[in-house]
Structure 1
């Protein structure tokens, strides 16, 4: 299959072979967000940096 004859899922021309890349990018973004949430949860449960992190979050949310 030559690059010029590639088509996307909707049968539109896809010469660069980029069809489906958005889905992969969303998946990576979702995994990164979940990992970051897990890291924040681990920090919040440890108690060591809880007060500092809480003050940073509160100050970030109160701006405006």
Structure 2
């Protein structure tokens, strides 16, 4: 037979083990950090000389194409 103290302790323990309060905050923080890092890498790639030269070449060829 279980006593009320054991039942209450069991319920509290189950709540602590199953509760995921705060998980969304951590997930949002990790997602924000990942997005900022991706943005920094993308900015570095796009502003590099090779990309600017390649885009300029594509635009020049497109403008000089005869239809």
TM-score of the pair, normalised by structure 1: 0.54
Give the alignment's Cα RMSD to 1 decimal.
2.5
Q: d(CA) in 1 for partners of 2:14 and 2:24?
A: 19
2:37 is the alignment partner of 1:35: yes
Match of 1:3 in 2: 14
User: Looking at both structures, which has the greater relative contact order when contacts are Cα pairs under 8 Å and sequence separation is at least 6?
Assistant: 1
| Residue ranges of structure 2 left out of the alignment (5+ in a row) | 1-11, 60-67
Name the counterpart of 1:48. 50
Structure 1: 5+ residue stretches without partners: 7-14, 56-64
Q: Aligned pairs, how many?
A: 44
